[in-house]
């Protein structure tokens, strides 16, 4: 029984979370969709697929959205888990549910918010201005390690069913 973790990431937070999650699961492979699209992996080799994305300007990662839409029929046959990294905790689940295709959200056995991270020096000029307008001036690391652990535990239980 193998698990595939797919993610998109612009500045590395979702990537970090994907690998933290991988370390808590048995037999899991990780692929960065934002670097490897179209992905060469065969979904037939996996019975569980976990998909993670950051949110920018209210939208999920483009490569993630594209992959989910293009492979919706195959994904619906899998045990699905979805996770999101974003700076607005109160909007996290709403952004997850509106960002991923509806049918995938309905199929998902576990959905979670893993927190967020950003470093001002990594951002481009416009992104820095946006962050300043939002009152954000310093680097922040709010990755929710407990949420990643809970997700892995819940998914392992669900996956056993
Ligand atoms: C320019 C910019 C726009 C962002 N827009 C949103 C947003 O609309 N909603 C949100 O919840 N978080 C937003 N964030 C926070 C990111 O989603 C968060 O930093 C996330 O951890 C980034 O993940 P990544 O490093 O994997 O790309 C934004 C961050 C930046 C820098």
Task: Quote the DSSP letter at residue 154.
Answer: H
pLDDT band at 161, cuts 50/70/90?
low
Cβ of 129 closer than 6 Å to ligand 1, yes or no, is no
* Atom of ligand 1 lying closest to residue 53 CA: 26
* Atom of ligand 1 lying closest to residue 11 CA: 25
Token pair for 6? 């797919």
Give yes or no for residue 80 having a pLDDT over 90.
yes
Token pair for 78? 């899998």
Cβ of 56 closer than 6 Å to ligand 1, yes or no, is yes
Give yes or no for residue 110 having a pLDDT over 90.
yes
Residues with Cβ within 8 Å of 56's Cβ and at least 6 positions away in sequence, in order, are 10
Q: pLDDT, tens digit, for every residue of 25-54?
A: 999 999 999 887 777 788 999 999 999 999
Q: Structurally, how many domains does the chain consist of?
A: 1
- Please, are residues 15 and 7 in contact by the beta-carbon 8 Å criterion? yes
pTM: 0.96
pLDDT at 158: 81
Query: Per-residue pLDDT averaged across 50-77, rounded?
Result: 96
pLDDT at 4: 97
Pocket test for ligand 1, best of 6, 87, 112, 130 (most atoms within 8 A of CB): 87
Neighbours of 137 (CB within 10 A): 10
pLDDT at 36: 79
pLDDT at 159: 73
CA of 56 to the centre of ligand 1 (A): 5
- Residue 115's domain comprises 3-160
Give yes or no for residue 108 having a pLDDT over 60.
yes
Q: 72: domain CATH number?
A: 3.40.50.360
Identify the CA nearest to 72 among candidates 97, 95, 106.
106
Q: pLDDT, tens digit, for every residue of 117-157?
A: 999 999 999 999 999 998 999 999 999 999 999 999 999 88
């Amino acid at each position: 029984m193998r698990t595939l973790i797919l993610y998109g990431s612009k500045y590395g937070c979702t990537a970090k979370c994907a690998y933290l999650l991988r370390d808590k699961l048995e037999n899991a492979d990780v692929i960065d969709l934002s670097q490897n699209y179209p992905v060469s992996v065969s979904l037939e080799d996996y019975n569980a697929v976990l998909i993670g994305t950051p949110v920018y300007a209210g939208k999920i990662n483009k490569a993630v959205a594209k992959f989910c839409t293009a492979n919706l029929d195959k994904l619906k046959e899998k045990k699905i888990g979805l996770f999101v990294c974003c700076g607005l905790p109160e909007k996290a689940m709403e952004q997850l549910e509106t960002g991923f295709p509806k049918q995938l959200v309905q199929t998902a056995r576990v959905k979670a918010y893993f927190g967020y991270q950003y470093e001002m020096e990594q951002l481009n000029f416009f992104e820095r201005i946006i962050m300043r307008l939002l009152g954000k001036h310093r680097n922040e690391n709010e990755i929710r390690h407990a949420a990643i652990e809970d997700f892995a535990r819940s998914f392992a239980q669900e996956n056993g069913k």
